[in-house]
A and B are shown apart, each in its own frame.
Chain A
Amino acid sequence: MGAESDVLLKVEDLRVTFGIEKTVITAVDGISFDVRRGQILGVVGESGSGKSVTGQSILRILPKSATIQHGSIRLFVDDPKPGDPIEITRLAPNSRQMERLRGGRIAMIFQEPMASFSPVHTIGNQIIEAILLHRRMSKAQARQAAISLLERVGIANPGRRVDQYAFELSGGMRQRAMIAIALAGQPDLLIADEPTTALDVTIQAQILTLLKTIQAETGMAIIFITHDLGVIAQLADEIVVMYLGKIVERGTKYEIFDHPKHPYTVNLLDAVVRHENRGQRLATIPGKIPSPYERPAGCAFHTRCTRKINGVCDQALPPTAHFSATHTADCVLYVDEANADA
């Protein structure tokens, strides 16, 4: 890991629950991870793994039914005071300070670019709004800035597009415009929540390239949330694998792709379409992700795990095994192999 001063965002022991009709379900169950400046962190998991909730917690835009039970999210920026992190979990979601952070320090883009735009306001209107919220500019200047942002994210004819509505743009262009809004406040961190899932494969590749280019230009960090390991392979430096609200494995891109440890990660990788596996049947993970209401005891993955040890996996939480400074997995299989701490 890099020096501590490199850390931009530190999430520690975050636990988020939803209260729905007297039942409480845990969406994120005590996770910790760091995001370093200029890093692209991939968060991978199936539906219901808690990856989106993690993203929403960082911005404090969780639905009303959700509560952050404990844990901390700290943002290390030089403003207001150098060396003094902003405790995001201590801020009220509707406080002035939190509103300044949103879009200004941390921006977010979503899976559905069409639904992310107001249907009755122009694209320009929404970009200019974001610019005026975070930068000191006149309206005319902001409009110019909006046009150049559109140009920067690769939208042809930005002078005309700025006055168009989301429904007049193609899917790829909408996501580009969404990225333009995210860039408006010159953030330090971009949370991209499945930004390419709803797009065609060719457009997907374009958007990924764009994100990479912009990341290189601005040096901002990106948390890239996806269920698609193929996408993350092209982009991320480090990867966090989530299952049912817990991080089951983490490591650098090469560690995860070349030496996956957790059976879940192994399964996930087998399910990726690969050149070498041409002509073979695509592997799937057996079973279904359990309902969040019926969370399995012990290791949450034991209901689907092919290497499950009866009487062990379904009893206690698995220990964390360390394989390198960056590579860990929560699985009993590696108790002896690595220096596990239970």
Chain B
Amino acid sequence: MVDLLRRNRTATPQTSPVSSRKPPRQETFYTASQWRLIWWRFRRHRLAVVGTTVLIILILMAVFADFVAPLSPTSRSTTYVLGPPMIPVFIDDEGEFHFPPIIYGVTTERNEETLRREPKLDTSVERPLHFFVEGEPYRLWGIIESNIHLFGTPDGEPLHLLGTDNLGRDIFSRTVFALRVSLSVGLAGVFISFVIGLVIGGISGYFGGWIDFFIQRLIELIMSIPTLPLWMTLAAIVPRDWNALQSYFAITILLGLLGWTGLARDIRSKLISLREEDYIVAAQLGGSSDWRIITRHMLPAFTSYIIVAISLAFPGIILGETALSFLGFGLRPPVVSLGVLLEGGQNIRTIAQSLWVLAPTIFVILIVLAFSFMGDGLRDAADPYAEQR
């Protein structure tokens, strides 16, 4: 309905200089390629650029997880259990400046309430933080053997940027590895959604008629069932005796299977509006084949919208995985995803005493925000000649 209202608007009342609000650009503006125009407009959307940068950093962290993380996701500290984050500081508590930054040492202290000895930071010990430090050996992507990590302390003592969990595992390292899993689940889930959505939305939009009617009712039907409970129910059906890898695939497929409805709708409505464009009608009248019209005329006009739809579909899948795993229906240890990391945070006592166990959610929020910003920027940029607000 909003679309329809918007169409009315193209007939602006007067044609004074105001209504042709095209930015002052030289000839190049009118002759630039579609992608170049998109890039120009995208670049102007500052939030989108920030979002994309953050996303690239997160992806790099995930790809080089073994190198970025100081420790492996399974290595446990016996002394530093539920230990607080060691935040690197440039200026210590005595006001002295350090470069490279320093982190404080570790000590234990008796908790007056529980009478247990708990790890605490010892500000009297200062340890410098170095880059490219030797540490735990690893095999990057199972191929490259190394023991160089992005950062660490030369003294070899453990470094827990975001603290440790109840088993003494390093939360930062686990989060970096979890990024790899969560992003891959998102990627695979979106890919599945996208393929289904493109096929079904494409059929619906291109053929129309009763096929369209039937598909639209089906989508409405699926959409009327609340997503998360449906995901939970489906996930509960995944057999318990499947191993972590099997259930990883099962959950990814599940997330993808339910996410296509929105994409299919977007693609359909875009196709329908495209079908009525004059140049498509002209191509049809000119006797072009369906195939030629779809590949030569529709797809180029369409690709940018697909990219936008995909980047906006990511957050849903990532949030879905997080919620499912948080409740214990999603991925299972030893696989670590952002949701799995949070599962331990369900205990309110633990949270009350060690808020840092929730630190992985920062990355969930970052991913979702980054994708939303990027998607919004792309959406605005996808229509390069559009009037700008």
Contacts and interface: CB of A to CB of B under 8 A. Distances in A.
Tell whether A pairs with B: yes
Contacts of A63: 18
Interface string A20-54: 11010101000000000000000000011111110
B8 interface: yes
A111 interface: yes
A50 B20 CA distance: 12
Contacts of A65: 18
A27 B24 contact: no
Contact of B18 (A21, A27, A193, A194): A27
Nearest to B23: A21
A53 B16 contact: yes
Most A CB within 10 A of own CB, among B9, B16, B18, B23: B16
Contacts of A18: 17-18
B31 interface: no
Interface residues of A, number: 28
A198 B11 contact: yes
A112 B10 CA distance: 11
A48 B17 contact: yes
Nearest to A51: B16
A52 B13 contact: yes
Interface string B6-35: 001101011111101111100000000000
A48 B24 contact: no
A250 to B, nearest CB: 19
Contacts of B21: 20
Contact of A115 (B11, B17, B20): B11
Contacts of B8: 114-115
B13 A292 contact: no
B13 A110 contact: yes
A291 B18 CA distance: 11
A235 B23 CA distance: 38
Contacts of A193: 13-14
B17 A25 contact: yes
B166 to A, nearest CB: 55
Closest 4 A-B residue pairs measured CB to CB?
A52-B14, A47-B15, A292-B17, A293-B24
Interface of B: 8-9, 11, 13-18, 20-24
Given A47-B15, A48-B20, 8 more contacts: A20-B23, A23-B24, A47-B20, A50-B16, A53-B17, A111-B13, A193-B14, A198-B11
